[in-house]
Amino acid sequence: MIAKSKVYQALAIAGAALFLTACDPAESSDQAATAPTEQDARAFVERAEQELAEMSVHAARTAWVGANFITEDTQALSAKSGEEYTTLAVSLANEAKRFNDLDLPYDLDRKLEKIKQQLTLAAPADAAKTKELATITTNLEADYGKGKYCKADGSCRTLGELSEVLRTSRDPDELLDAWVGWRTISKKMRAPYQRMVELANEGANELGYADTGAMWRSKYDMPADEFSGELDRLWGQVKPLYEALHCHVRANLNEEYGAEVAPASGPIPAHLLGNMWSQSWGNVYEMVAPENADPGYDLTKILKEKGYDAKKMVETAENFFVSLGFEPLPDTFWTRSLFTKPRDRDVVCHASAWNIDNVDDLRIKMCTEVNSEDFQTVHHELGHNFYQRAYNQQPHLYKESANDGFHEAIGDTIALSMTPRYLVDLGLIDEQPAADKDIGLLLKQALDKIAFLPFGLMVDQWRWQVFNGEISPEEYNAGWWKLREKYQGIKPPVARSEEDFDPGAKFHIPGNTPYSRYFLAHILQFQFHRDLCEIAGNKDPLNRCSIYGNKEAGERLNQMLEMGSSKPWQEALEAMTGSREMDATAILDYFAPLKTWLDEQNQNRQCGW
């Protein structure tokens, strides 16, 4: 996870209300009477960049303190600075729309668009409607955050407790109860969500966009209407692998639970896949794993035996990037980061990477444990830090990844190089396991990364169709499940109706967090990995390649990273890969041994849904 500052959408809209009610009507009239010029636009952008840069540092510092010293006071300070930042962002976005009709130079026009695109939901100009939107979004997120499944006997369970049932239980009645129970918290979200869509679309129209979905898609350096088609193109490239995985998992679930619970054909009931949203299936690995899948080593055990602690894990991850030719992290990284959970206070333990001053005050915040999962996570988080530093010479509005999928993809690209070969180079194991041991490792990865792809795609497909009216309010739930079946081959385990609002049971819907970035990250990480391995002269199968120690690969990687978002993502991609097009076939190359194995397992099975 990358963290610049804690900017919440509810605060952004509340900030809009503060700005709009504080404006001087005479001043607004004066601005409207004079047609804006290119010189006006340039002066505005220079001022906006300076104000955003200064405010972002303050917001980041207070957010850091709020996350690392959780008290009522620090939370209040963090919320206040977040409100101030988002008030500024909304006011600047509203100012930027004055220049919509000007024919401006590329760089100036790009920066104006970025000022507008900082908003996730655009507030209408009507102050009363803006306040209403702020209230709705605040309440939606609060309803999710405090949601619990309570039974008639007064017992209640949280999302974490219900998710643990789905993760560990093999009792279909328990699974069904937990699955249905969590979705009771979202029923009341339907009406306010409908009103939120109406208000947000009005705000997007005022900024010059057809609807909120078009505003979101406009961030991807291509016509908004073409972007959803581009995602479907990428999905089409990997769909055969997903279908093979789906077929194998469904057959094993059928064997485990019987046809009455888990039919041998058609969509898979959503409560059986070990995850509340069926977005990753790693928790059912033991049911679907090949025989003798053990790779022959236990990395967690080895790390502990070798005397690794949290700091040594971070130092090892830093050394990965240094081996590629990157400069070591600054001394302040080691004195200001949080590596382990403190004993004397509460902190937000979710791993995140920070650049407090947008230059070189790089940090991570992580309650690191010595295990294989956190060893990988540390490498991922440092991928964010080295990306942040690479583009720190760009103007403020370009200090971000080429598109919002790139940042997560870079961290995961590095994690893909954490192969047994890398472990041999580190002296953690003596030799790579035989190739036949790769199937278990690949299947574990596929149950998370490949299983996620259609879910990562359909969440925003649903929202875009809601925003543009293709899915009417009367068919919110039916539209959700139609897309889930189309893309995932998943169905609800019991009948659902329009009294339900199952989309709201996923945080990113009431939280209004765009989701396509996660789909793109899952595609791009494999494309980046394949191209970097080719640059490094790799001769091994792609799933066995590590770019550790290859400075030519590091140089090409840096050429892309240092561009930030100063150019369209297509140019950033070309700087490293030589191609301007995203390509999901790298996933097929990476998982080729697994696809062969899955096809063997699926002989005489009826695949598809």
| Catalytic residue chosen out of the listed positions 350, 373, 431, 474 | 350
Is 315 assigned a catalytic role? no
Is 396 assigned a catalytic role? no
3-state secondary structure 287-348: HHCCCCCCCCCCHHHHHHHCCCCHHHHHHHHHHHHHHCCCCCCCHHHHHHCECCCCCCCCCC
Amino acid identity for residue 235 in this structure: W
| Catalytic residue chosen out of the listed positions 384, 396, 407, 529 | 384
| Catalytic residue chosen out of the listed positions 246, 248, 271, 380 | 380
Is 508 assigned a catalytic role? yes
Q: Pick from 409, 436, 408, 432: which is nearest to 422 by CA?
A: 432
Cross-strand pairs, 157: 149
Q: Is 357 in a helix, a strand, or coil?
A: coil
| Catalytic residue chosen out of the listed positions 381, 390, 522, 548 | 381
For helices 172-182 and 159-168, angle between their N-to-C axes, nearest 10 degrees: 150
- On whether the CB atoms of residues 591 and 237 are closer than 8 A, the answer is no
Is 85 assigned a catalytic role? no
The one-character DSSP state at 391 is T
Is 350 assigned a catalytic role? yes
Rounded CA-CA distance 269/262 in Å is: 7
Is 529 assigned a catalytic role? no
Is 498 assigned a catalytic role? no
Is 248 assigned a catalytic role? no
Task: Give helix then strand counts, H and E, for the chain.
Answer: 25, 7
Cross-strand pairs, 150: 156
Burial-class residue 339 by CB neighbours within 10 Å (0-12, 13-18, 19+). Answer: middle
Question: CA of 575: how far to CAs of 285, 324, 587, in Å?
Answer: 38, 17, 21
Q: Is 147 in a helix, a strand, or coil?
A: coil
| Catalytic residue chosen out of the listed positions 10, 387, 408, 548 | 408
| Catalytic center residues | 350-351, 380-381, 384, 408, 508, 518
